Structure 1
């Protein structure tokens, strides 16, 4: 057998591409099963949304104290540069457990297709399919009893971090342009969002998306017309001072204000912190503050 090529054709932050077409990711993705958290009582389980393509999600249900009270819904999109990480990763599982408990929300954490097995735009299409699957429970007759019995679809929030924040933005644009019957998306939470601007990261995104429209592709550089129709009433933007994406986060906020969008924008910047610090150091003061602000944003009247 012919040995694999060792010549590198492309090298990006998350993976390298060899001249024979092989792709080697630098960071493995670990997954853990759903469980009941002994400290908070938050339960989790995995559901299948579609088999062709293969789309699933992890659902998180906080401890129910009053069965007659419906709870807000959080649709969460994990980060990972569109090519690594998972809704089932330990960091994201634990983060969603914490959010579900702190905000008292039902969370749907989407497991979307990753490059290279699923090149972009699979991540956007899979997430949209997941959002529509969630919305199918609005009349109380969807496939999942947790959502049927406990979800308040007049209080839906879309959120994500890094690449997931980018995807979450696109979901809010689609809600604004196409609607989501039976659902009211109240807010959008963007944590350390990627919206282009870094030449190397942009080159990686363009490589992962064979049908791209160049560096001005609206999915990585949202135009004013997309920002103006965001399908939510309010946006919470988290930034970290030492994050290389902090400048594009500031750009996004400035463009959103100028776009004509009628909602309210809240910006929180954590000083001295780097990209997705809350996933790597979840017990630090700023990570706890991030979760508290996230929860209060959801529970504001």
Structure 2
């Protein structure tokens, strides 16, 4: 088939288009920023390969407070992007995670997973799980492959955080469990928990879905599912102008009404839209959101 005559068969504006010749074109490709010693925050970063066969990797961030005599909290971060765009290695996330590591005084492991639609769901879930199992190999005796995690990470203070689709995956990781450590907290930033009705994007990138009640997308579909959350504390952050705001609020309310024994907190940024903090990290509301997340981690 002549590529010039290919026809669009599926179109998801701002994300990607699919053509009848199998070609996939994203509306905007992410950039790439190499790991570095950040001059602004003093945070040092480097990349590790976790699963070469599936291109699963991560970027580890070490704050300048490391080596000060005590171990540091560990944050596992899962980026957003509707399961189909963005990267842990893009400038959007690299500079944000530098600030998160610096402000919270935490080691951060930012996961790079395979994207849909080339790799349909559950690839991003399975990749994230594999990455966390790799992190888990450093717990206990501290004999994992990465010296930063062995020497500096406190596996009594492990948090998993994510924004948008990354928050959806983060919730799934805490439910799934099976790690040698217990998560101290779950941080959901503008979570994407579906739209409460059939979702064309989800149906396309998740071939085996059962629809709006799929717990991988909509964790509030069954309250007994929520009650199995394997952590002690949850922070749900929403933005007032975000179309997904009510989905986050619904999660918060339903989690409170289960027999889960942890504590759930809610933080709303009024007048802002979805993941605004990634695009303007210096604005007052972004600074306020960062402070709220940091206070949750420092407990």
Task: State the TM-score, normalizing by the size of structure 1.
Answer: 0.94
Contact 1:5 1:19 in 2 (8 A): no
Q: How does 1:77-226 map to 2 (within 5 A)?
A: 77-138=78-139, 139-175=141-177, 179-181=178-180, 183-197=181-195, 202-222=199-219, 223-226=222-225
Contact 2:44 2:61 in 1 (8 A): yes
Q: How many residues align?
A: 295
Contact 2:66 2:152 in 1 (8 A): no
- Establish whether residue 10 from structure 1 lines up as the match of residue 10 from structure 2: yes
Q: How does 1:253-264 map to 2 (within 5 A)?
A: 253-264=252-263
- Establish whether residue 295 from structure 1 lines up as the match of residue 297 from structure 2: no
Give 5+ residue unaligned stretches, structure 1: none
Hey, what does 1:271 align to over in structure 2? 270
1: CA distance, partners of 2:192 / 2:24:
23
Deviations 1:77-110 (A, max 9, x none): 0001101100001010011100100000000000
Q: CA deviation at 1:254?
A: 1.6
Q: CA deviation at 1:49?
A: 0.6
2: CA distance, partners of 1:240 / 1:262:
26
Contact 2:66 2:72 in 1 (8 A): no
2: CA distance, partners of 1:17 / 1:39:
40
2: CA distance, partners of 1:42 / 1:248:
34
1: CA distance, partners of 2:101 / 2:26:
31
Deviations 1:42-101 (A, max 9, x none): 000000111122210000000136443000100000001101100001010011100100
Deviations 1:127-148 (A, max 9, x none): 0001110010012110000000
* DSSP-derived class of the 1:49 partner: strand
1: CA distance, partners of 2:149 / 2:114:
23
2: CA distance, partners of 1:58 / 1:5:
40
1: CA distance, partners of 2:90 / 2:298:
27
1: CA distance, partners of 2:112 / 2:98:
16
Q: CA deviation at 1:286?
A: 0.7
2: CA distance, partners of 1:187 / 1:146:
21
Deviations 1:266-300 (A, max 9, x none): 10100100000000110000100111111110011
* DSSP-derived class of the 1:215 partner: coil
Q: CA deviation at 1:30?
A: 1.1
Q: CA deviation at 1:20?
A: 3.0
Deviations 1:123-171 (A, max 9, x none): 0000000111001001211000000000000100000000000000000
Give 5+ residue unaligned stretches, structure 2: none
1: CA distance, partners of 2:271 / 2:127:
35
1: CA distance, partners of 2:70 / 2:119:
39
* DSSP-derived class of the 1:41 partner: coil
1: CA distance, partners of 2:24 / 2:4:
11
Q: How does 1:49-60 map to 2 (within 5 A)?
A: 49-60=50-61
RMSD in angstroms over aligned alpha carbons?
1.4
Contact 1:5 1:18 in 2 (8 A): no
Task: State the TM-score, normalizing by the size of structure 2.
Answer: 0.95
